[in-house]
Structure 1
Amino acid sequence: MRVPVSWLRDYVDLPADVTARDVATRLITAGLEVETVDELGTDITGPLVVGRVLSIEELTGFKKPIRYCRVDVGEANGTGEEQHIVCGARNFSEGDLVVVALPGAVLPGGFAISARTTYGKVSEGMICSPTELGLWEDHAGILVLDQGLAAPGADAFELLGLRDEVLDIAVTPDRGYALSVRGVAREVATLYEAAFRDPADVKLPESGGEGYPATVADPALCSRYVLRGVTGFDPQAPSPMWLKRRLAMCGVRAISLAVDVTNYVMLEMGQPLHAWDRDKLSGPIVVRAAREGEQLETLDHVTRTLDPDDILITDKSGPINIAGVMGGLSTEISELSTEVLIEAAHFAETHIARTSRRHQLASESSRRFERGIDSAMQLAAATRAVSLLAELGGARIEAGLTHIDLTTPREPIVIAADLASRVAGVDYPPGTAATRLRQVGCEVVEDGTTLRVTPPPWRPDLTDPNDLTEEVIRYEGYENIPSIPPRAPAGRGLTESQRLRRSVSRGLAGAGFIEVLSYPFVGHGDFDALQLDTDDPRRRAVTLANPLSSDEPLMRTTLLPGLLKTLVRNVGRGFNDVALFEVGLVYQPRAHAPERAPILTVDRGPTEAELGSLRAALPDQPRRVGAVLAGDRQWAGWWGAGRAAGWADAIEAAREVGRLVGAELTVHADQYAPWHPGRCAVLHAHGPQGEVAVGHAGELHPRVIAAYGLPERTVAMEVDLDLLESARTGVVAPTVSGYPVATQDVALVVADSVPAAEVEAALRAGAGALLESVRLFDVYTGAQVGEGHKSLAYTLRLRAPERTLTTEEIAAARDAAVAAAAERTGATLRA
């Protein structure tokens, strides 16, 4: 909302030395977001005066019509002589008053005016158009002033209001009253403790008969409806300069007098209005909900199919307006309209908001309706509009009017008198809350330690004690609330789970991964891209009631979609070697949970039953760790060739998480979407209930890679951190022996189907307590081991903590390890 300070001063007695920046500072401290303060006219300097055109000589022989004018500028040029000015505009005549920029003036854009020869004549200045003066956009030509407005030579700066300051306020959804000069003026008057003159304080008409017939079908759609009409309106009457100037400063383009008046009143009072050509209406007006399949061609020449949730204005011909959003084309005001009917109404905010979004029609009217307007303003606004039409357009105001009032009184809000002090932590003097709430416009009845507060009709956002408390605190000044940092109780710090999560994040970062945070929202298309089966439990997701995007209406059940999209974004920006990880929650709906969580009141703490209903509606939220890799895992350089990331790196990332948690993971082949069926591993940990699957790792399926546009052979892993935490065995400090180590290499031949992890486990079990570590250092397949077999070569490190091992002990441990591998996996020693 753009608010000229000169317009504010019409309603607030601000001190003369108060600038727009001073006002902006006060408003910001009170909670309004003033984005900028625009200083208009500061780029115009030099002599800018009123002139009277004495004569016009038409110059010929040029490609376009050119006029050579004699202009009286009084004594402004220092000589009192006529100015000779060349001009190409055609919309002025001899005797007209115009605005003249004399030599030495500078117009917007740094356009300097000087005496110069053009079209064979010396032009001693310029006759200006509204656009050239920065007043408003107008391509009709020269600005022609009303006769008698000023004498030739008068200064045009003050006359035209060229210099002004405009507050540009970003109005939040809860402060709809600030979408009007009236609302901002009331706020400024309170902040400066200055007198406030309400523009809505107009003389309301007494009942002078029936107005245009109208009915409201449902009070829930429209609680107040007003119609006022004028006759004999001059459709050719121009909008006065002051009206067009104020509209332009507020960012509204002037169209015609009837439309400009409705826009002006809307900006002034915050009440959207609509003007009809009454001759185009047929029969009584009915305010109702749309019916299935109804259509309306709106003012933007688009035929729209209406929704039963839309509020319509109709007559015998059918829909003529989408209420609060846009009018219909068939009844619009034209340049021939002499009978004008003004509508002012209070429509339901939620209906207007949904309609505006549904039809993608965001108008100045819908912007105000959906934030909440004054429910008692309609008659005053309509009266103000018809008065302006009569004053400026020569119309006659009809005595009859339509006023349908279906409003209900607002119930008082009971609030503790010291609630604001307790919330802010500031001891406000007694009576502060009552005083501040009365300044807001509330009716306050003091009853001992409580207040019964009835909010004014222009503040529909005040609905509970906390809203009222905010009003008290913001007027007392947020800056006056002391900053007292909370103190952590001694002896407390991070929980065990928090330390564990930080350890995992640091460990993966140390392993070369970069942590990312993704939005927890996904769509059905993500499940399709992951190649999940129709009965996959991950497709059962929590649905958002009000999603940020219609493409992502679900809460994630896996971390992979966010990680894969982040990977694609990085690769698209030239980072081809990427290793990312994320630690976050996934959301799994519970069976038989209610569809929606209950909304609790905020005036008290929840009961145990209410807390139970909340917990029952919440989904399970296990914590996961996910990682994705693409490109080279090891870069090439002078040290040698690089290595591309492979399925083993994804498995190693998962095992690293296990080591950081303190849980040993075992790896087995598996088939699980979205991984490649031949390059997927399931990861197990030993928990309280025995072996439990905690996640998967490996190379992604080619269809998944194609669906997301990932680099070829992208790998990923995802493990359940909560399950890992429950399976942790704790960290045991290793025993360090000072005696020498003995190493033994064994090469075992096994079938291709035997996992290397099973062979390693067998070697560990057979070697016994003397085995310090076992490492796989070679895998061989070929003619020497036979088809369908492979050779696995391991290094066994043996050591005793209290003595040097003998040759016999070393051989016995080695033979026992080989025997165990043979018994469990069918392994044979390779010759």
Structure 2
Amino acid sequence: MKFSENWLRELVNPATDTQGIADQITMAGLEVDEVLPVAGQFSGVVVGEILTAEPHPNADKLQVCQVSDGSEQFQVVCGAPNARAGLKTAFAKVGAVLGGPDGKEFKIKKAKLRQVESFGMLCADDELSISEDHGGIMELAADAPVGTDLREYLDLNDSIIDVDLTPNRGDCLSIAGLAREVGVLNKAPVTYVDVAPVAPSIDDTVTITLEDPEGCPRYQGRIIRNVDMSAATPLWMVEKLRRCGIRSIDPVVDVTNYVLLELGQPMHAFDLSKLSGGIVVRKAKQGEKLTLLDGNEAELNDKTLVIADSEKAVAMAGIFGGEATGVTAESKDIFLECAYFNPITIAGRARSYGLHTDASHRYERGVDWQLQRKATERATQLLLDIVGGEAGPVVEAVSNENLPTSSTVKLRQSKVNQVLAFAMPAAEIEEILTRLGMQVESSGEGEWTIAVPSYRFDISIEADLIEELARVYGYNNLPVKVPTAELNMIADDESKVGIKDVRRQLIAAGYQEAITYSFIEKGLAAQFDDKHEAKALANPISAEMAVMRTTIWPGLVKALQYNQNRQQGRVRLFETGQRFLPEGDELIQENVIAGLICGPRQAEGWTADSATVDFFDIKGDVEALLALGGCPEQFSFVAGRHVALHPGQSAAIQRNGETVGYMGALHPELVKSLGLNGPVFLFEIVQSVVLDGQLPRFGSLSKFPESRRDLALLVDENISFESIRLVAKEQGGEFLKAVTLFDVYQGKGVEPGQKSLALGLTLQHPSRTLNDEEVNEVIDFVVSALKKQYGATLRE
């Protein structure tokens, strides 16, 4: 909000300069964005009167004017289209100094324009940095005293202070509210505008009906007949409006804008002759149309509060008036309205129509619900003084049960001392709150009951009052106290793997992290998970985002599809996120880690071959991930069915026999239906399982050589290597360090239904070298156990 310093000083005049006021306001929580002079630096400019204006003999667009400064006449050549005889304007005499557009000053000198001498310059607003208007020279009031210094006449030794208010301080969106703040901060008296009730001179009234009393608990207005719209808005009012960023339109609109700035109460005036019947405050009908004052047509929805007559909507309540009932130069009778609207009813409505008005800006933040009568009387008084007319009685419709109520808040001295970190004297607490307009009643022993005024609708709890005390006392005056606390060291559980370590591992393996939507298409959810019915959203963004994912795979596959459509053949993606599993009436949110690979095994290069990834590539990545916790022996891979995976290339990931995830090739039907270039391999594991490792322990490395024995075993083709490995590890004892599968063979020399597994068994003792007898004994134990359990025999 912009405001004039001189206007502010009419109400409160603290013993501090412009910058001092700006600093005080900022430190009180009302941040000042900038302070600007009302006009540029100039001197020697007076009120001049054009006596005659004749065409220039040598130029079509110039005029030769005779200008009076009250004592002398001067010949001035002027090119402004509005230069005319009888006009009073800004006259820069020879020797006057003006500020240039680049900040440099220049002096007015005698000049010759197209062989005609010119003694001075008639100035436009922008040439004096008063505004950006360059449509012509300034037009001053007809009663402007000729020869008077322009700075003095227009009171240009003033500053514009632009304050950026927080949404909770709607009480400061007026000159009266800011004056109240400045008065409190400086302990200075504030002279508020004296508003006396205007006695009605006619009996004419308009009936008012509140169909939505919750949205509009109070609506009042009065008829003013026989107004003179040809009257000019007084210069003092035009200047005050301009300095607050509002241009003058006509006297009626100017008065409503003036009251808005002065008191903070939005108002509106209707042309009475264009209203049909009484006023009705109601919700708009769905699709109802209203042409606004700016000429744009708005299609209203049924959540918008409107002011209507008996036939149609005539204004968007608290936002914008309608063009059809607006006051024009031909208007004779007006209906002046003033209302209190519930902030919740107005909040967001203007933005939904692409609008933002001074009225909506205030109503959204809250307006004093006891201010309407004062604003109506003030506007009536000003209108009668400017446009004349006869005022009727004020008619009011009010719903007392829907109006806000004056609130009372308890305040404790102990709480004040605790929050502000020092003991503020009780007398100072009472004095500050009283200056803020609150009624303070002591309850004894450091407690007070505070009655909050209606204009401070932001105060409702004890903390709000303490904030007010801190603001007024001065944040910079509060003592600096460093907080102290006894902090206990938090144990670092080294058995846990950090999620950052998981990400680093996958990135090191060539993956890129993806973040996909938690909402997916319903049909896609069923294709990837047939065990859970995805939770449907009550208000989905689109059909493609209708249900909550039960697995991360659909999002990753969609990301793959997007990349392949853009010629990205080698894709490796992973994501850490939540899946949402319905369990009865509850929704279980479970963190998982998922990944996807597709395309060539190696990035394109002269040393790389063109082989594509397979099942064992992703299995190796998963094994490396599971090894982060230091207990890879707890995990195993067993054949397992999953609806989204290829039946012959899928595995369940188990930890100590419990399934914690799945991995494998994407089902060929899904590859085909999604238009993917396969094969595609995926994994998904419960995150907590990956992060839950075991405490690292030191183990010394053996100095003694390893011993290795290679075996070729014939087993049934349905027996997995994992089963063989577990038996071998169990029978091999502590000296068997590794069991490695280095070949699988089926064909000539091997009976149908069997396969040959080539195993490498590595043994090592920590403190000595194993002899052949010991090694052979271990091998015999392993072979015997495998023969007994799986019928394995040594291949000859």
Q: Which residue of 1 aligns with 2:56?
A: 59
State whether structure 2 residue 654 is matched by structure 1 residue 684: yes
Q: Report the more deviating stretch, 313-322 or 803-812.
A: 803-812
Cα shift at 1:566: 11
1:807 is aligned to 2:772: yes
Cα distance change of structure 1 residues 553 and 640 upon mapping to structure 2, 3 Å threshold:
closer
Task: Say whether residues 1:769 and 2:766 are aligned partners.
Answer: no
SS in structure 2 at match of 1:309: coil
Distance 1:238 1:151 in 2: 19
Structure 2 counterpart of 1:8: 8
- C-alpha distance 756-735 of structure 1, shift in aligned 2 (>3 A): same
Map residues 687-702 of structure 1 onto 2, 5 A cutoff. Answer: 690-694=657-661
**Residue 763 of structure 2 corresponds to which residue in structure 1?**
798
Match of 1:174 in 2: 168
Inter-partner Cα distance in structure 1 for 2:754 and 2:27: 78
Assess if the C-alpha contact under 8 Å between 2:39 and 2:129 holds in 1: no
Q: Distance in 2 between matches of 1:620 and 1:213?
A: 58
Contact 1:635 1:643 in 2 (8 A): no
Query: Counterpart of 1:280?
Result: 274
Normalising to structure 1: TM-score of the pair? 0.77
Which stretch of structure 1 is more off in the superposition, 46-55 or 812-821?
Answer: 812-821
Q: Across the two proteins, how many residue pairs are aligned to each other?
A: 784
| Counterpart check, 1:90 vs 2:82 | yes
Secondary structure, aligned partner of 1:313: strand
Aligned partner of residue 9 in structure 1, secondary structure: helix
Does the C-alpha gap of structure 1 residues 402 and 575 become closer, same or farther in structure 2, counting only changes over 3 Å? farther
Equivalent in 656, 666, 684 of residue 636 of structure 2:
666
Residue of 181, 191, 194 corresponding to 1:197: 191
Amino acid paired to 1:178: C
Q: Does structure 2 conserve the Cα–Cα contact (< 8 Å) formed by 1:662 and 1:728? A: yes
Aligned counterparts of 1:56 and 1:588: Cα–Cα separation in 2: 86
One of 491, 494, 503 as aligned partner of 1:508: 503
Describe how 1:608-687 pairs up with structure 2 within 5 A. 622-625=590-593, 655-662=623-630, 664=632, 665-667=635-637, 682-686=652-656
Determine the C-alpha separation between the residues in 2 that align with 1:541 and 1:18.
63
How far off is 1:774 after superposition? 4.3
**Is the CA contact (8 Å cut-off) linking 2:513 and 2:573 kept in structure 1?**
no
1:300-699 aligned at under 5 Å gives the runs 300-392=294-386, 394-407=387-400, 409-449=405-445, 450-479=447-476, 480=478, 482-490=480-488, 492-494=489-491, 496=493, 503-506=498-501, 508-509=503-504, 512=507, 524=519, 537=532, 539-540=534-535, 591-592=584-585, 622-625=590-593, 655-662=623-630, 664=632, 665-667=635-637, 682-686=652-656, 690-694=657-661
C-alpha distance in 1 between matches for 2:491 and 2:365 = 43
Shift of 1:155: 3.6
Q: 1:798 Cα deviation (Å)?
A: 2.0
- Are 1:71 and 2:41 counterparts? no
Q: CA deviation at 1:418?
A: 3.1
Structure 1 window deviating more from structure 2 (275-284 vs 556-565): it is: 556-565
Task: Give distance in 2, aligned partners of 1:232 and 1:192.
Answer: 45
TM-score, normalising length from structure 2?
Answer: 0.80
Distance 2:793 2:114 in 1: 108
Verify the 8 A CA contact 1:418 1:433 in the aligned structure 2: no
Does the 8 Å CA contact 1:387/1:397 hold for their aligned counterparts? no
- Tell me how far apart the structure 2 counterparts of residues 23 and 406 of structure 1 sit (CA, whole Å): 41
Deviations 1:674-705 (A, max 9, x none): 8899987654323xxx5131576888999899
Query: How far 1:280 moved relative to its partner?
Result: 0.6
Q: CA deviation at 1:398?
A: 0.1
**CA deviation profile, 1:248-306 (whole Å, cap 9, x unmatched):** 44333443332232223222222111121111111111223345564444445555454
Mark the runs of 5 or more structure 2 residues left unpaired by the alignment.
Answer: none
Tell me the secondary structure at the aligned position of residue 222 of structure 1: coil
Distance change (3 Å), C-alpha of 1:535 and 1:279: farther
Residue 33 of structure 1 corresponds to 31
Q: Give the match's secondary structure for 2:281.
A: strand
Measure how far apart 1:806 and its partner are: 2.8
In the TM superposition, residue 46 of structure 1 has moved relative to its aligned partner by 5.8
Residue aligned with 1:321, SS: strand
Q: Secondary structure at the match of 1:68?
A: strand
Which residue of structure 2 aligns with residue 609 of structure 1?
none
Per the TM alignment, residue 550 of structure 1 is displaced from its structure 2 partner at its CA by 14
Retained in 1: the 8 A contact 2:714–2:757?
Answer: yes
Give deviations 1:697-756, integer Å, cap 9, x for gaps. Answer: 88899989999x99999987654333455x645444445322211245567899999877
- Aligned-partner Cα distance in 1 for 2:561–2:122: 59
- The 5-angstrom pairing of residues 84-233 of structure 1 reads 84-90=76-82, 92-100=84-92, 105-108=98-101, 118-119=113-114, 121=116, 126-136=121-131, 138=133, 140-152=135-147, 154-162=148-156, 164-199=158-193, 201-205=194-198, 211-233=205-227
Quote how far apart the aligned CAs of 1:457 are.
0.8
Q: Secondary structure at the match of 2:197?
A: coil
Does the 8 Å contact 2:288/2:299 carry over to 1? yes
Decide whether aligned partners of structure 1 residues 782 and 98 sit closer, same or farther in structure 2, where only a CA change above 3 A counts: farther
Q: Give 2:704's aligned residue.
A: 739
Structure 2 Cα separation of the partners of residues 650 and 247 of structure 1: 72
Q: Which amino acid aligns with 2:467?
A: E
Of the structure 1 ranges 504-513 and 362-371, higher mean CA displacement relative to structure 2 is found in 504-513
Q: Which structure: larger Rg? A: 2
Give the structure 1 partner of residue 18 of structure 2: 19
* SS of structure 1 residue aligned to 2:6: helix
For residue 760 of structure 1, report the CA deviation from its aligned partner.
5.0
Rounded to whole Å, the distance in 2 between the matches of 1:175 and 1:448 is 31
1:365-393 Cα offsets, whole Å, 9 max, x none, are 2221121110011111222223332333x
Return the alpha-carbon distance in structure 2 between the equivalents of residues 88 and 151 of structure 1.
20
**Matches of 1:45 and 1:18 in 2, distance apart?**
21
Residue deviations 1:447-485 (CA, integer Å, cap 9, x gap)? 114322221111122222232232223323334153423
Q: Is the CA contact 1:72–1:82 (under 8 Å) kept in the aligned structure 2?
A: yes
Q: 1:191 is aligned with what amino acid?
A: L
User: Is 2:522–2:534's contact at 8 Å kept on the other side of the alignment?
Assistant: yes
Give the distance between the partners of 1:19 and 1:711, measured in 2 at CA.
71
Q: 1:785 to 1:81 in 2, by over 3 A?
A: farther
* CA RMSD of superposed structures (Å): 5.2
The secondary structure found in structure 2 opposite 1:772 is strand
SS of aligned partner of 1:659: helix
- For 1:646 and 1:196, locate their aligned partners in 2 and report how far apart those are by CA, in whole Å: 83
Does the residue aligned with 1:127 lie in a helix, a strand or coil? strand
CA distance in 1, matches of 2:143, 2:717: 105
Q: What percent of counterpart residues are identical?
A: 29
Query: 2:140 is matched by which residue type in structure 1?
Result: L
Q: Which amino acid aligns with 1:33?
A: E
